[in-house]
């Protein structure tokens, strides 16, 4: 009980949003620094970030609230499909940053069962953990923080050109495919602005990542991962 009270005492309003994202980026960096162990770092970051999101889940109730009718679901799913199409079809056309080798589980010399586990974690992490973690950080926290450091006083989906463009560009810079990332960031941000909730952006982001994962595994185009 004392430990929980201590944690609550030191917890800042931004911690539930920044902490999972920071952990994810730390392990991503470690995976890039030690490529031979990148699959272990991916499993670790997926599990740890999922635990953090569950720990902070009460802090996200308002962010993920909102009335969702069929039209909004279809709108979010369609947006995710559009981003997926842009991501795949614009390959070798738009400029990129760096030269990542992708994530091919067969490259690590694992047994078939282990490879299957790694693939499953990779797909579930991309389709569930990443969309929740990133949308909470980029669209719920940072887009509001850039309007007012007291971000909780800012209505979810509030718009200024500075916050919208900053988050959109920074989201693009987070990705190897920078232009595709900027387009995706703009679409996800517009969903939040329109719907006044992060739910639609999470759904859209999840559709994109799930579709990309299925495409990668079915075609062997591992460079997309």
Nearest in space to 209 (alpha carbons), one of 150, 140, 132, 137: 132
Weakest-pLDDT range from 67-76, 115-124, 139-148: 67-76
Over 80: is that where the pLDDT of 152 sits?
yes
Name the pLDDT band for 3 (thresholds 50, 70, 90).
low
Q: What is the mean pLDDT of residues 165-187?
A: 95
Query: CA dist 184 to 21, 48, 57, 117, 144, Å?
Result: 18, 26, 25, 29, 18
Q: What is the mean pLDDT of residues 82-101?
A: 86
Instruction: Give the whole-angstrom CA distance, residue 16 versus residue 12.
Output: 8
Global pTM value: 0.91
Instruction: Give the whole-angstrom CA distance, residue 189 versus residue 165.
Output: 10
Over 60: is that where the pLDDT of 10 sits?
no
Question: Which tokens in the block code for residue 102?
Answer: 């992708």
Q: Collapsing DSSP states into helix, strand and coil, what is residue 173?
A: helix
pLDDT for the residue 104: 86
- Quote the mean pLDDT of the chain: 91
Residues of the chain above pLDDT 70, percent:
93
Q: What is the mean pLDDT of residues 159-180?
A: 95
First to last CA, the chain: 42
Which range among 6-20, 94-108, 146-160 has the greatest average pLDDT?
Answer: 146-160
Name the pLDDT band for 189 (thresholds 50, 70, 90).
very high
Question: Which tokens in the block code for residue 147?
Answer: 């309007």
pLDDT for the residue 4: 56
Over 90: is that where the pLDDT of 105 sits?
no
The structural domains of the chain, with segments of one domain joined by +, span: 2-224
CA angle 202, 205, 208 (to 5 degrees): 150
Instruction: Give the whole-angstrom CA distance, residue 80 versus residue 211.
Output: 9
Q: What is the mean pLDDT of residues 211-216?
A: 96
Over 70: is that where the pLDDT of 55 sits?
yes
Name the pLDDT band for 115 (thresholds 50, 70, 90).
very high
Tokens 């940072």 found at: 142
Instruction: Give the whole-angstrom CA distance, residue 36 versus residue 104.
Output: 11
Question: Which tokens in the block code for residue 115?
Answer: 């490879």
Better pLDDT: 9 or 156: 156
Question: Which tokens in the block code for residue 70?
Answer: 């069929």
Over 70: is that where the pLDDT of 146 sits?
yes
Instruction: Give the whole-angstrom CA distance, residue 123 versus residue 159.
Output: 33
Q: What is the mean pLDDT of residues 92-117?
A: 84
pLDDT for the residue 8: 55
Q: What long-range pairs does 103-108 form, CB within 8 A, spacing at least 24?
A: 103/38, 103/39, 103/42, 103/222, 103/225, 104/222, 104/225, 105/39, 108/36, 108/39
């Amino acid at each position: 009980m004392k430990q929980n009270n201590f944690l609550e005492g030191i917890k800042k309003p931004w911690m539930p949003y920044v902490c999972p994202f920071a952990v994810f980026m730390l392990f991503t960096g470690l995976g890039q620094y030690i490529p031979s162990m990148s699959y272990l770092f991916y499993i670790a970051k997926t599990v740890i970030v999922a635990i953090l999101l569950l720990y902070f889940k009460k802090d996200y109730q308002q962010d993920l609230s909102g009335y969702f009718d069929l039209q909004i679901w279809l709108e979010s799913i369609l947006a995710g499909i559009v981003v997926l199409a842009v991501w795949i079809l614009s390959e070798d056309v738009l400029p990129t940053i760096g030269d990542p080798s992708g994530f091919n589980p067969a490259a690590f010399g694992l047994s078939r069962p282990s490879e299957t586990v790694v693939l499953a974690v990779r797909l579930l992490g991309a389709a569930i953990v990443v969309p929740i973690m990133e949308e909470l950080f980029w669209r719920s926290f940072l887009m509001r923080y850039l309007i007012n450091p007291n971000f909780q006083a800012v209505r979810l989906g509030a718009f200024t050109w500075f916050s919208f463009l900053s988050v959109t560009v920074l989201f693009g810079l987070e990705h190897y495919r920078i232009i595709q990332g900027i387009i995706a960031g703009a679409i996800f941000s517009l969903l939040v602005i329109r719907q006044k909730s992060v739910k639609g952006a999470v759904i859209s982001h999840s559709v994109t990542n799930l579709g990309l994962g299925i495409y990668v595994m079915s075609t062997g185009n591992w460079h997309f991962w």
